[in-house]
Amino acid sequence: MTTNSLSTIGTDLVVKGRIRRCRSLDVHGYVEGGVEADELRIQPGGRVFGIVRADRLEVHGQLQGDVAVRTLILIGTTGKVVGNVRYGQLALQPGGELSADVRNVPPEVHGDFQIAVRRGRWVPITLADLNAVDPDNTAAEIRFSVSDLAGGYVAREGEPAAAIDTFTQAELASGTIIFMHDGSGGGSGGFQVTVTDKAGASAAPQRVTVSVV
């Protein structure tokens, strides 16, 4: 089943299969298979079994399966969740039940991962080059770790001679993080970054390529 608007699974309705590309879905009945929705609400008496992918999820009925929620999962006083759960934020109201392998969603890393620098000079690393998104952490809590450097190093603008191996999303957004080329020959360099949030969840390492012009 594929839909792209507001939908309701009625009290007496049974759906077996995948519900995909749904903007908003209210479940009062029974779904077995999986749901992909921007917003999913499992109402009291509603039951969902299977794979769930949503931006926001409210559970006031029963949910069992493999669950990934990008922002908030709210488990109400009549809600019960069992299975594997990844989330951005979690809210559990008194009376709600959570029996799951619960993991925080790691940051998402974005950018074109490409920088151009003049030989022996430095250039700011911009948000277009590299950035991270994590709905349950502030910019100051998202940390980049640098490794596997080639052709230079990462530093802060105020101290270009002092290499650093970590910096935050907040520093990146302020424009104070730079790549300093070491003046060596060759037309390229780069470094690897791993992004970690406050809870220790990490995204897969990304390689940033540096072109020397």
pLDDT per position as a tens digit, 131-180: 998 877 889 999 999 999 999 999 999 999 999 999 999 999 999 999 99
Please give the structure tokens belonging to residue 16: 């077996």
- Global pTM value: 0.60
Give the domain ranges of the chain.
6-104, 108-212
Superfamily of domain 108-212: Immunoglobulins (2.60.40.10)
What count of residues does the chain have?
Answer: 213
CA distances from 208 to 11, 172, 194 (A): 51, 14, 11
Mean pLDDT on 177-194:
93
Q: How far is CA 94 from CA 69, 76, 98, in A?
A: 21, 8, 11
Residue 113, pLDDT > 70, answer: yes
pLDDT at 106: 79
- pLDDT, one tens digit per residue, over 38-94 is 999 999 999 999 999 999 999 999 999 899 998 889 999 999 998 888 888 888 899
Where residue 4 falls among pLDDT bands split at 50, 70, 90? low
Average pLDDT on 101-121 reads: 88
DSSP 213: -
Q: Under a CB-based contact definition with an 8 Å cutoff, are residues 189 and 207 in contact? A: no
* Spatial distance between the Cα atoms of 157 and 150, rounded to a whole number of angstroms: 19
d(CA 200, CA 43) in angstroms, rounded, equals 33
Weakest-pLDDT range from 115-129, 145-159, 184-198? 184-198
CA atoms within 13 A on the CB side of 96: 22
| Segment 180-188 mean pLDDT | 90
E-strand stretches of the chain? 6-9, 14-27, 30-42, 47-59, 62-75, 80-92, 97-104, 108-110, 114-117, 122-124, 131-133, 143-150, 152-156, 159-163, 166-168, 177-181, 188-196, 206-212
**What is the Cα–Cα distance from 134 to 91, expressed in whole angstroms?**
17
Q: In the predicted model, is pLDDT for residue 2 greater than 60?
A: no
Q: Which residue has tokens 């008496």?
A: 45
pLDDT digits (tens, 9 = 90+) for 13-33: 989 888 888 899 999 999 998
Per-residue confidence band for 99, with pLDDT thresholds at 50, 70 and 90 = confident
Radius of gyration of the chain (CA): 22
Q: What is the number of alpha carbons within 13 Å of residue 154 lying toward its C-beta?
A: 27
State the pLDDT at residue 100. 73
